[in-house]
Amino acid sequence: MHIKHESCRRAARLALVAGAAALLAACAQPKPMYTWDAYQPALYAYLKEDGADYSGQALAMEKNIETARATNQVLPPGFRAHLGMLYLKMGDGDKAAAQIEGEKTAFPEAAPFMDFLLRNAGGAKSAAAQPPADAPAQTSADISRKGT
């Protein structure tokens, strides 16, 4: 009878250890869907526009892309679009268009907004050539005088 009692204790201990192991395994953190390394700080700095070091933000995000590729992680939604907007701010329309197209490819549901950004990317360049808002507006009389 003593042997059966001892084997019951062993079975109970084994069940207790197995249960504890199962609980600890359930507590393990799931792997995140996306890599957010440089995206959130860059987005915050962009929106805050405190000193606005666009090239530094873009460089940090480019490093994030390389890290994500090396570790086989996925970039979050909006990452490429934001990098494209940084490139636009820096005057590099070709890189901006490539990043925005990449966002469309990675997240097809964003295509209408990305198309909007691409359409208006040329407008951002031409807006820089327009006179400042506080410049005096030309009247039709001014225009007709210049023509004569």
For the full predicted model, state whether its pTM sits above 0.85.
Answer: no
Residue type, 135: A
**Between 136 and 13, whose confidence is greater?**
13
- Tell me the per-residue pLDDT of 88-113, one tens digit each, with 9 for 90 and over: 999 999 999 999 999 999 999 999 99
**Residue 80 buriedness (CB in 10 A; 0-12 / 13-18 / 19+):** buried
Q: How far is CA 95 from the centre of its chain?
A: 16
Q: Which residue has the tokens 């209408």?
A: 112
